[in-house]
Amino acid sequence: MEYKLLRDTFVEVNLDNIKYNIIQVKNFIGHNVAIAAVIKANAYGHGAIQIAPVLIENGADILAVATLSEGLELRNEFNDYEILIMGYTPDSYLEIAVSKNLTLTIFSLKQAKILNKLAKKLNKKPGIHIKYNTGFNRLGYKDLPESINEIIAIINLKNIEVEGIFSHLALKNNVEDKIQYKRLVNAIAKIEKHTTPLKYKHICDSIGTVLHPEYHLTMVRPGAILYGLESEGKGIIDLKQAMVFKTKISHITKLEVGEGISYGYRWTAERKSKIGTIPVGYADGYPRNLYQKGIVTINGKRVPVIGVICMDQCMIDLTDVTNPKVGDEVIIFADGANNTLTVNEISILAGTNKNEIVSRIARRIPRVYIKDKKVFKICDYLTKK
């Protein structure tokens, strides 16, 4: 059955743009570097299950997620594909990860031994990547001689396969990035004196990939750039933003001078005003702190969001809009054409970054997928797939 849109507030996700972006990344990194396509957080709000096939068809070697449940969600749909969980998986969850052939991130010999035992019991040989901490100090082995010894011991365990080693750049500046990179490659050199070469060595996220081609090693882990969220080094890779966020006017009301709007009447009319309501609020992922800063676009005209943003709705000042009507399209963000805000611009207004804006688009926002310039699929939480 063709699934119908059930809400005026929705995001469009352009799969053609995602395809375009991964091809650009692929061309930029060349054939000798693999891609771990980062689709954690439901592919930054774009919908991991829907995005993954486009990435797989166009050159992703590994799908990378943050958590076990994200890995399991993908495993249900993509039986054979390599899925890397980049976060920490506690011991009590290892069994399900192994039984579902998920690749784990490990950074202790103690856990590696538990995994090794479990693997033997389950008659499996799970793949793992070692996390090496080169300075970010989030997860991973500290850059110390005893860490090298532990990693070699892990590699020597019989029932697990160490497929990779990786670190994460803090992106403080070029000097610090280089120090981090050097720490990783020096550690790898010491490890590989005692073992066969590791397959996947990686340190670059999107910004690292774009700014530091010399640090690509054998794999990169781009996230944001796959969705066309341009990082620093704008223009080095040509990208197309994949997500557009839209709604429609649900109500229009006229105010006399002095009448208030929303909680606390924190906005009051200084002139006779025409106020529109739009059915989007902070529970949809529209940041509440856009109070006094929010802007939407109607028919190519920028319109201010006024009053306190509610959980499910907010108000806009239509006084200067010619003949607005209930049902008129309102663009919350798009690609910047026709006076729309980009994800970048709205993130600056909200005092956050682009990834936070898209990854917090709520589950109750339907996703409309565009492929070959046509509506390809509509998904919301009533959709099974």
Give the side-chain half-sphere CA count within 13 A for 360: 17
Q: Which residue(s) pair with 375 in the sheet?
A: 370
Q: Which residue(s) pair with 204 in the sheet?
A: 220
Instruction: For residue 370, give the nearest of 283, 254, 277, 244 by alpha carbon.
Output: 244
Q: Is 31 exposed, middle or buried (0-12, 13-18, 19+ CB in 10 A)?
A: exposed
Residue 224 Cβ vs ligand PLP, minimum distance, rounded to whole Å? 4
Return residues touching ligand PLP (CB under 6 A).
Answer: 38, 40, 86, 168, 205-206, 221-224, 355
The phi, psi pair for 162, rounded to 5°, reads -80, 105
Largest CA distance in the chain: 80
Q: Distance between CA atoms of 39 and 86, rounded to whole angstroms?
A: 11
Residue 166 Cβ vs ligand PLP, minimum distance, rounded to whole Å? 7
Residue 205 Cβ vs ligand PLP, minimum distance, rounded to whole Å? 4
Residue 63 Cβ vs ligand PLP, minimum distance, rounded to whole Å? 12
Nearer to ligand PLP, 168 or 248 (CB): 168
Nearer to ligand PLP, 60 or 321 (CB): 60
Q: Distance between CA atoms of 117 and 130, rounded to whole angstroms?
A: 18
* Residue of 110, 117, 263, 325 with catalytic role: 263
Nearer to ligand PLP, 17 or 116 (CB): 17
Helix, strand, coil percentages (3-state) for the chain, rounded to 5, are 35, 25, 40
CB burial string 196-232: b at 16+ within 10 A, e below: eebebbbbbbbbbbbbbeebbbebbbbbbbbbbbbbe
H or E stretch including 246? strand 243-248
Residue 19 Cβ vs ligand PLP, minimum distance, rounded to whole Å? 18
Nearer to ligand PLP, 118 or 225 (CB): 225
In the numeric block, the tokens 């976060």 are attached to 87
In the numeric block, the tokens 């403080």 are attached to 172
Residue 303 Cβ vs ligand PLP, minimum distance, rounded to whole Å? 31
User: Identity (one letter) of the amino acid at 129?
Assistant: H
Residue 134 Cβ vs ligand PLP, minimum distance, rounded to whole Å? 12
Q: What contacts 80, CB < 8 A, 6 or more positions away?
A: none
Nearer to ligand PLP, 41 or 365 (CB): 41
**Integer angstrom CA distances of residue 314 from 192, 222, 280:** 58, 34, 6
Nearer to ligand PLP, 35 or 298 (CB): 35
Residue 374 bears catalytic tag? no
Q: Which SS3 state, helix, strand or coil, does residue 81 take? A: coil
Nearer to ligand PLP, 68 or 86 (CB): 86
Nearer to ligand PLP, 118 or 219 (CB): 219
Residue 40 bears catalytic tag? yes
* Residue of 19, 20, 40, 201 with catalytic role: 40
Instruction: For residue 244, give the nearest of 12, 50, 9 by alpha carbon.
Output: 12
Q: Distance between CA atoms of 265 and 133, rounded to whole angstroms?
A: 50
User: Could you give the residue numbers annotated as active site?
Assistant: 40, 263
